[in-house]
Amino acid sequence: MSEGRNSTDVSSLETEALEGNPIVEAEADPDSSAAEAPKAMTVGSFIMKVLNGISIAVVVALVPQALLGELAKAIMPHWHGALTIIQLTGLASSLLPVMIGVLVAMQFKLTPIQTAAVGIAAVCGSGVAQPLQEGGFHLQGTGLVINTGITAALAVGLILLIGNKLKNYTILLLSTLVTLIAGGIGWVVTYPVVKRFTVWLGQVVNGATDLQPIVMGVILAVLFAIMIVSPVSTVGLATAIFMEGVSSGTANLGVVAAGFGLLVAGWRVNGFATSILHVLGSPKVQMANMFSRPVTFLPIICSAAILGGVGGALGIAGTSISAGFGISGLVGPLAALNYDGWGWSAGNVLTVLVVFVVLPLALSIAFTFLFEKVLGWTKAEYFKLDFK
């Protein structure tokens, strides 16, 4: 009796363990669709899913380097362990392409096998791994974010197109087809074109900022202040077009202006813990509130315009990775101080402190008072957040 009962229990456990396994399910029911295209899928919704996946991937892969990279460089002369931090966070950033592929696939609720196939294709199209003449690959940087997203989108589209047509051969052929077709298109066809375009666009933005730092500082700060509370990834955009120097620094100040502006505007209704999230975390938490009442953008835009102009005049700089993070993790201030031509002198530290903290806070208080108390266009309740 005991042996029979144990046998039954083991069999039951095995059955439960096999349930939900995509490989077993595909073999057991080859006619079932591994991933069916979402009902009423539009071009707009497809693109938004891809952009959302990219945004999440950018944060996951680049935040470690953004938070610790600049700090590690600063303390490396005094602590050799900082080199390990730089290497680990650098490796994390180089894994951005596979993260984009995986997280884009997750937006479409693909199976693990399909998700892995999209991840492989995304890496192939990213250019992050360059073949060496002696064999093997050289892994460096983050690759082309735009082309990585295009390749991931092609891979997802191919998987949705294939559906259940491969039947029992899904497990054997799916990853091969996705790698060769979607990954091949990304590697051979779109990568050269996208690379030329992104490099050109980055040169235009960086060059224009060098020629007209104040004017471009205003434009970039306002643009990034708006984008930081939209579905678009500011870090992804800056990385994609290789923003560097003053263009990166002033764009980052737009994010700072948005963070402090939202902190001040909703302070009375959100309290300290929630309000500080806009600065130490991300202003994106206000996305729904902002787009439901576009007038709430006005105080932030005004603050960002002034802050960007000041940053351009002072030559506040940054890197392609630091642009878009704002003051979170001290990414912006550290990048500015560590940039060529700056340094940790008392004057530079004071300048960065004023531009990244004192001035945005003062501007936020002034414009919140103007638009709320004087003009009556905004209210603190417009910025109410409820995470319950």
Q: What is the pTM of this model?
A: 0.69
- 9: confidence class by pLDDT, cuts 50, 70, 90: very low
Ramachandran category for residue 80: left, alpha or beta (phi over 0 → left; psi -120 to 50 → alpha): alpha
Say yes or no to pLDDT of 327 above 90. Answer: no
295: DSSP letter: G
Rounded Cα gap, residues 9 and 149, in angstroms: 47
Q: How confident is the model at residue 13 (pLDDT cuts 50, 70, 90)?
A: very low
Nearest to 250 by CA among 295, 214, 201, 208: 214
Question: What per-residue confidence (pLDDT) applies to 286?
Answer: 81
Least confident among 156-160, 279-283, 313-317: 279-283
Name the band, by pLDDT with cuts 50, 70 and 90, for residue 369: very high
Q: What whole-number distance in Å separates Cα of residue 14 and Cα of residue 233? A: 44
Q: What is the pLDDT of residues 71-89, one digit of tens each?
A: 788 788 889 889 999 899 8
Q: What is the pLDDT confidence band of residue 47, given thresholds at 50, 70 and 90?
A: confident
Q: Which residue carries 């460096």 as its tokens?
A: 140
**Has residue 132 got a pLDDT over 60?**
yes
Q: Residue 39: pLDDT band by 50, 70, 90 thresholds?
A: low
Q: What's the confidence (pLDDT) of residue 348?
A: 93
* Residue 228 in this model has a pLDDT that exceeds 80: yes
Place 5 in a pLDDT band, splitting at 50, 70 and 90. very low
Angle at 274 between CA 273 and CA 276, to 5 degrees: 70
Q: Say which residue, 284 or 158, is predicted with more confidence.
A: 158
270-305 residue pLDDT tens: 888 788 878 876 787 787 788 888 999 999 999 999
| Angle, CA 206 vertex, CA 203 and CA 209 arms, to 5° | 140
Asked whether the CA dihedral 244, 330, 309, 370 is positive or negative, the reply is: positive
Report how far residue 224's alpha carbon sits from residue 84's, in angstroms, rounded to the nearest whole number. Answer: 32
Q: Judging by beta carbons within 10 Å of its beta carbon (0-12, 13-18, 19+), is residue 55 exposed, middle or buried?
A: buried
Distance (Å, rounded) from C-alpha 330 to C-alpha 2?
A: 64
Q: Which residue has the higher pLDDT, 17 or 364?
A: 364
Burial class of residue 66, CB neighbours in 10 A (0-12, 13-18, 19+): buried
Q: What angle do CA 63, 344, 258 make, to 5 degrees?
A: 45
Please count the CA atoms within 13 angstroms of the CA of 190 that sit on its side-chain side.
Answer: 22
Q: For the ranges 56-70, 241-255, 372-386, which has the lowest average pLDDT? A: 56-70
At residue 8, the pLDDT reads 43
